[in-house]
Amino acid sequence: MASSSASKPLVQKIRGKKKMPNKKSLVWWGVALALIIGGAVLSFPSFFSFQIHQEQEIVTPTIKPFPVSVNPQGRSINENAEVDAFFTNENPSISAASIKAKGILGTIASIIASVPGYALVGAAGMQFVTIYPGYRQEEVARAFGKTLDWSKEERAEFLTHTNTETPTLGEGKFAPGTYEVNAGDDLDAIKRTLDERFHNTILSRYATSTAQIVPLETALTIASLLERETSDPDEMRIISGIIWNRIWNDMNLQIDATLQYAKSSANKGKNDIWWPKVAPKDKYIKSSYNTYLNPGLPPTPIANPSVAAVIAALNPKKTDCIFYFHDKKGGFHCTATYKEHVALLKQYYGQGK
């Protein structure tokens, strides 16, 4: 609302010489600020380690197995209220708010670690590595390698070790989250940490009865597609419904993220870019991961999904949608027919095909 001429100004200009703080005051303020920052940097490892241990302790044997509402054999989805509870604050280890919070903690870890002198403080003790939802395994190796100062060869050795040593860990089985590591940790120690986190967050909740309905590898593969398509848990469940609809209708999935995976796998992550932009010609890439050319799911997961994505894979929303896209502002749109899909594309992008 515009102010009237009769009203008093919110900020009045003070005439005369501006009073400057004396040098002694500036020195004391500088010392106080340095102590605050120094204390934050020095105490951060203990605080952050406590947060990580709390995150690990959230998962206990008393937690119920993942619910499952999809029935692939019956080609049906039986929605239930229990699933919604997994995406609320009633279940903090899985809620969307918790997922976002872990991302923030990971960001804080990166910022603090970049403070000059922090490396000297952390070198003798703990360090932190964050695996973000949707990373592919090479990005996981890069994250650990950056913190532990690995060479390119050591990163490759890490992937070989985790993929071949029993129990094997491959694409889809590096659980997102922040990990505490030490400079002297060898590959076996890191693998044990990764395996324990995957067991606690996924395997311990994946009941035998669930695996009989949806095999774990299938759930992880669908979850990895969802993770790359959206970060919104509600959209994940809708897209999950669309994926199942297309599978049941013998339609190719046509998911661009699989083209990105195929493209970067072929060029071995050129310039360390693992999720390159997709061009129309990429739809013809010869790869078993190309879901434009090949029916069904890709051979393996294409990324490492969050718990939310795994639950969404097992519990899709019942929908008649077959097509979907995000507009330039991030809005989500889905339709049941190709004609409606093209009309929306023209509305938001001026073209559609």
pLDDT by residue (tens digit) across 143-177?
999 999 999 999 999 999 999 888 889 999 999 99
What is the per-residue pLDDT for 110?
47
pLDDT at 126: 81
CB-neighbour burial class of residue 295 (10 A; exposed 0-12, middle 13-18, buried 19+): exposed
Q: What is the reported pLDDT for 111?
A: 46
Distance CA 186, CA 188 (A): 6
Q: How far apart are CA 175 and CA 132, in angstroms?
A: 9
pLDDT value, residue 227:
97
DSSP bridge partners of 179: 129
Domain boundaries, the chain: 37-205, 214-349
DSSP 8-state code for residue 330:
-
DSSP state of 278: P
Give the tokens for residue 314: 């097992």
Q: Which tokens sit at 250?
A: 């013998």
Would strands 76-77 and 70-71 be described as parallel, antiparallel, or unpaired? antiparallel
Residue 125, pLDDT score: 66
Q: What is the 3-state secondary structure (H, E, C) of the chain?
A: CCCCCCCCCCCCCCCCCCCCCCHHHHHHHHHHHHHHHHHHHHHHHHHHHHHHHHHHHHCCCCCCCCCCCEECCCCEECCCHHHHHCCCCCCCCCCHHHHHHHHHHHHHHHHHHCCCCHHHHHCCCEEEEEECCCCCHHHHHHHHHHHHCCCHHHHHHHHHHHHHCCCCCCCCCCCCEEEEEECCCCHHHHHHHHHHHHHHHCHHHCCHHHHHHCCHHHHHHHHHHHHHHCCCHHHHHHHHHHHHHHHHCCCCCCCHHHHHHHHHHHCCCHHHCCCCCCCHHHHHCCCCCCCCCCCCCCCCCCCCCCHHHHHHHHCCCCCCCCEEEECCCCCEEEECCHHHHHHHHHHHHCCCC
Task: Check residue 34 and give its pLDDT.
Answer: 52
| pLDDT tens, the chain, 353 aa long | 443 434 333 333 333 344 445 555 655 665 555 555 555 544 555 545 544 454 444 444 467 899 999 999 999 999 888 888 777 654 555 544 344 434 444 444 444 444 444 444 444 568 999 999 999 999 999 999 999 999 999 999 999 999 988 888 999 999 999 999 998 899 999 999 999 999 999 999 999 999 999 999 999 999 999 999 999 999 999 999 999 999 999 999 999 999 999 999 999 999 999 999 999 999 999 999 999 999 999 999 999 999 999 999 999 999 999 999 999 999 999 999 999 999 999 999 987 65
Q: Can you give the pLDDT at residue 81?
A: 82
Q: How far apart are CA 82 and CA 69, in angstroms?
A: 10
3-state class (DSSP) for residue 323: strand
d(CA 215, CA 188): 28
CA angle 328, 331, 334 (to 5 degrees): 115
